[in-house]
Chain A
Amino acid sequence: MATKLPHKDVVIIGLGWTGSILAYELTGAGLDVVAIERGPWRDTATDFPPATAPDELRYGVHLDLFQRPAQSTVTLRNKTSQTALPVRQFISFLPGNGVGGAGVHWNGMTYRFSESDYQVKSHVTQRYGKSAIPDDMTLQDYPMTYAELEPHFDKFEKLLGIGGKAGNLRGTIQKGGDPFEGPRTNEYPNPPDKQPLGPTLFAKAAETLGYHPFPVPSANMSQSYTNPLGVTLGQCSFCGFCERFGCGNYAKSSPQTCVLPALMPRKNFEARTLCNVTRINLDSTGKKATGVTYVDQHGAEFTQPADLVLVCSFSFNAVHMLLVSGIGKPYDPTTGKGVVGRNYAYQCTSGVLVKLDNTLLNPFISSGVGGMALNDFNGDNFDHSGLGFIGGAVLQATQTGGRPITQINSFGDDPKWGAGWKKSVKENYQTIYALGTQGSVYPYKDSYLDLDPTYKDPYGVPLLRMTFDWHPNELKMSAFVTEKLADVGKAMGASRLAASSRKAPYSVTAYQTTHNTGGAVTGDNPHTSVVNKFGQSWDVHNVFVYGAALFPQNSGMNPTGTVGALTYFSVDAIKSQYLKNPGPLVPV
């Protein structure tokens, strides 16, 4: 029997980036807010001090900061004709766990997608005609433009203290920045990170080919920074332990370093950790949420009544929450009807290894971002006529460290053990650099999320089932951009080079990216979206959804910038409209 707790104005499910921003904004508006987080409390000095944080075995291999499959996992299949099996070890993607969420373990690459990415369906149709979009591709526009999101990107970048170089300031192209980006109102709040040798060589080579390299926008502080909340961050020390690790010296933007010091002292905020929300409760009409049910670490069940329920868990976990709570109609791939779980997408990555003789790359000198990128082959920044695919990828030189267990690069035919391996590692460590692409993945009728018919989590709730495989459009895109990246590698003077573009089928047995998107997409039509432009459920007006689950499709860049902008876009509407007059913000 669940214990009923005293009422709160707002309950937030998951205390990561979006949860902490919303908690700060809504406590600031005077509301009584509780955030319920499945994982533990995490604090910089006690949980990842610089003296113990650089532990590759604990964090990089045993994945200390991540969701454990024993807490919950997903089942996976490539085709609807197959039986999905549980992912028993997270490898391909790594959902975060605990306060700070992915904001603790991320590298900090904080892009804005291309302007046309937000209206990609209209844009592609206009430029190439309807026939450029494959029949089974369910591409759709965001319900707002880049221009509408711009002030919210700006706010998010200032919160985090992103370091970078503007490429387009109010329509004027800036040297050294990304000339393909949409117009920015302001320069980045911090200058770009210093560049290690690898990215420097990459940028030089890219320029000789006529491309436009720019420093990757970075949440690793290039200098000490105090954000608009009055919170101060330190300077990145290029320790080489960023992705999969917490930052010990307050130098990586995270909820811990950017929001929580300002949020936690507020008396109208409470964080409840090691408490797992199992469902959102609805009233008898099914059109209004009454709060959530959760289970604490001792197995005791509670109901937390609230006026407003904000779903802030990792993208596919948010979709799972909607499905198990009966919010919105589940997507059915056979009829194409229903929306929850529809348009699940991923990112299509590939790599090029280059051997640069007689260099000392010193890969151990790395921040999480420290790198150069080019968008010449991303989105629709290039003419796709005759190429047979749409979309593209960012091309990057962003090797994030030289850690001994997982970051020793070698070519396929290098010895893998024994004296030969030792000899090749000695030669390769300072001379092989890993370049990469992050490509768009567009949505398809047969790529979706639903509830698994067989496997259940520890609470007896069905696991989320993921049905996903690569489609020809993405594989052609990957082949194209990987070849372009190899051209840059050759121009770097590589004596050896190995390019590997993405190949089907999709497999969870190698790390690719944690940029899982979609399933609760934002839109202006309840038949093709789960939530309206403000992230508000079409069906249950006091439930709002945040994070990359909102993306109608995935772009060829890191998603966190857009996640942040959508969050501020939504909370503005909650504060200025919804609180005064709770109800649907967009008429159906």
Chain B
Amino acid sequence: MGQAKSAMSIGVSLAAVAIGFAAMVNYAAAQSAQPEAGAAVIAQGKTLVDSGGCAGCHTAAGAPAFSGNVLGTWNAPSLLNDPHNGLGTWTADDIAAYLRTGHNRYADASGPMAAIITGSTSKLSAADADAIGAYLKSLPAPAAGATAAALPATDPAMAAGQHIYTDECAACHTEAGTGLANLFPSLVASPVVAAAQPVTLVHVLLHGAQSVGTAQATAAAMPAFGGQMSDQQIADVLTYIRNSWGNAAPAVTAAQVTAAR
């Protein structure tokens, strides 16, 4: 019952966001702005982000703006300039490409963000999308906390996870975890992978996911592994992914997977 309720509230907030963006789609044209200075572009981006309602999903109650949130079975990842748990590795162009096509060299949108892209951001003008990118890149990086250490490769979950990863995941996401631009998401330096509560990872591994199809994109899909792998196997491979290639995040437990089934 609780789950149904939260899904409903996501639906409502998505609709609101979609309306917000639709109204703003031609902001740049309306302003007839040929932005001269970075500051003007950033300000334009801020206006779009604020009125578009990005914070509604990407900011948790009481947390710093855009530092990420959990919406039912999906993470709304941090948009901050953190290279591990945020968009630190993305350029403004990467952000703009993601908003307009649902895909870039690192990520492929699915879940609630796919609906936002279909309904709103795929209709943004290039200038508006660029402005949002510029604004998000202008956000301060979060204060550097203690850097988490990755689990050692000798950890039993890591060893088991590595074998599963090679057999089941590497054909698409590659042995190096980098995926393929515009097709398979990178698992390296990804806020979805590094999220404190890895709900998207668990959900997508259990049930699969369809990336968003836009005019310029293939819209590859992730197969579901829930029927094939045990909760422990899913936990192990996710633990491996969260602690490889420079990633460092707490292990995923079988109990977390069980609860998500």
Contacts and interface: CB of A to CB of B under 8 A. Distances in A.
A50 B219 CA distance: 17
Contacts of B182: 226, 232
Nearest to A239: B171
B223 interface: yes
Given A50-B171, A237-B171, A265-B213, A45 B218 contact: no
A443 interface: no
B218 A261 contact: yes
A584 interface: no
A231 B228 contact: no
A51 B228 contact: yes
A230 B101 CA distance: 11
B115 to A, nearest CB: 15
Most buried by B among A233, A250, A265: A250
B168 interface: yes
Contacts of B219: 261
A232 B172 contact: no
Given A230-B217, A232-B217, A248-B171, A45 B222 contact: yes
A155 B151 CA distance: 50
A43 interface: yes
A234 interface: yes
Interface in B151-171: 167-168, 170-171
Interface in B182-230: 182-184, 208, 210, 213, 215-223, 225, 228
Given A232-B218, A261-B213, A51 B223 contact: yes
B19 interface: no
Contact of B221 (A43, A52, A237): A43
B15 interface: no
Contacts of B183: 224, 232-234, 250
A404 B171 CA distance: 20
Contact of A45 (B167, B171, B223): B223
A235 B180 contact: yes
A230 B216 contact: yes
A44 B168 CA distance: 15
B223 A230 contact: no
A45 B217 contact: no
A61 B217 CA distance: 35
Contacts of B181: 224, 232
Contacts of A230: 215-218
Interface string A143-165: 00000000000000000000000
Contacts of B180: 224, 232, 234-235
B223 A49 contact: yes
Contacts of B223: 45-46, 49-52, 248
A265 B210 CA distance: 14
A249 interface: yes
Interface string A248-265: 111000000100010011
Contacts of A51: 167-168, 223, 225, 228
A248 B172 CA distance: 8
Contacts of A43: 221
Contacts of A224: 180-181, 183
Contacts of A235: 180
A52 B224 CA distance: 11
Contacts of A257: 218
A232 B171 CA distance: 16
B172 A234 contact: yes
B217 A44 contact: no
A391 B213 CA distance: 47
A261 B103 CA distance: 14
Nearest to B168: A51
Given A45-B208, A51-B225, A234-B180, A250 B213 contact: no
Most buried by A among B170, B172, B182, B219: B172
Contacts of B222: 45
Contacts of A233: 183, 218
B217 A50 contact: no
A237 B167 CA distance: 12
A234 B220 CA distance: 10
Contacts of B221: 43-46
Interface of B: 167-168, 170-172, 180-184, 208, 210, 213, 215-223, 225, 228
22 contacts: A43-B221, A44-B221, A45-B208, A45-B210, A45-B221, A46-B208, A46-B223, A50-B168, A50-B172, A51-B228, A230-B215, A232-B180, A232-B183, A233-B218, A234-B172, A237-B170, A248-B171, A248-B223, A249-B172, A250-B183, A257-B218, A265-B215
Given A43-B221, A257-B218, 13 more contacts: A45-B220, A49-B223, A50-B171, A224-B180, A224-B181, A226-B182, A232-B182, A232-B183, A234-B172, A235-B180, A248-B171, A248-B223, A249-B171
